[in-house]
Amino acid sequence: MTERVVPPAARRRRRPTKTGVVLSEELIVETALRLLKEHGADALTVRRLGLALGADPTALYRYFRDTDDLLLAIADELIGRTLRTWRPTGDWRADLRDLGLRMHSGSLSHPQAAVLSAYRVTGRVHEIAAVETILGVLRGAGFPDVEAVRIYHAFVDQALAFAALDAASVALPRAAREAEAGVWRATYARLSPDTHPHIAATARHLVADMRRSAYPSALDLLLAAAAARLDEIQELPPTQPTRQTETRPEDPAGHTAGLSRVIPPDPSAPRPPGS
């Protein structure tokens, strides 16, 4: 596509397409989601979209710079669908659990789109609303700002990572999914306790559990750790600073490499900018 995108106010067509529809950003995104679900990533082309919409493919240039711009809109729409069905109760832990499960479920309902977009940062209206919402839940629960951001980061990355992982599995052909599930029965469940005592001892649990997503369990562990951290913060004397967190260097994608290590504050150490 071109780098030129028509401003929103000027996008509406004066006449419908040859199939009788009036193009809009929302209609294009909805059609792209349907094509991805039905035909996979190869369906995300200007030609295929134009054909499905009954429009000249060049008309899509009025709405999106290129297919990557469209992909960001698709990612943002998935976030928006999650927010539209979520209602907070005031219980921060229950609210984040419900939101995380809805994010995961929404991704699995459009697995091809989730695989392509789960790792993207859209900077669009629904993503901005989600960031504001989650930070609001955490700050409202009593987390200091630095802790709220750390937990937000872990919460969102965990949800999106599991969404991409599980969506990729769901997007596999049925035969491939069944074959992978069968490996736990055909291989792991038959290993000898003489050579693999731990696998043999837990084989029946592996066969049952590995067919399911680990996301609900991982989410519960994260929220339990966050709740424990909040209890710790609330028990600190008013004048005692919260603990610092030392992390390893970030990788090129901006994610922290390795696990965080919590260390006590050093009163003599220089304070970072903005602290």
Range with lowest mean pLDDT among 208-222, 223-237, 238-252? 238-252
pLDDT of residue 187: 96
Confidence of residue 40 (pLDDT cuts 50, 70, 90): confident
Average pLDDT of the chain to the nearest whole number: 84
Across 221-250, average pLDDT: 76
3-state SS of the chain is: CCCCCCCHHHCCCCCCCCCCCCCCHHHHHHHHHHHHHHHCHHHCCHHHHHHHHCCCHHHHHHCCCCHHHHHHHHHHHHHHHHHHCCCCCCCHHHHHHHHHHHHHHHHHHCHHHHHHHCCCCCCCHHHHHHHHHHHHHHHHHCCCHHHHHHHHHHHHHHHHHHHHHHHHHHHCCHHHHHHHHHHHHHCHHHCCCCCCHHHHHHHHHHHHHCCCCCHHHHHHHHHHHHHHHHHHHHHCCCCCCCCEEECCCECCCCCECCCCEEECCCCCCCCCCCC
Q: What is the pLDDT of residues 71-84, one digit of tens each?
A: 999 999 999 999 99
Proportion of the chain above pLDDT 90, given as a percent: 63
Give the range with max mean pLDDT: 3-17, 220-234, 244-258.
Answer: 220-234
pLDDT of residue 262: 37
Across 183-194, average pLDDT: 96
Confidence of residue 237 (pLDDT cuts 50, 70, 90): confident
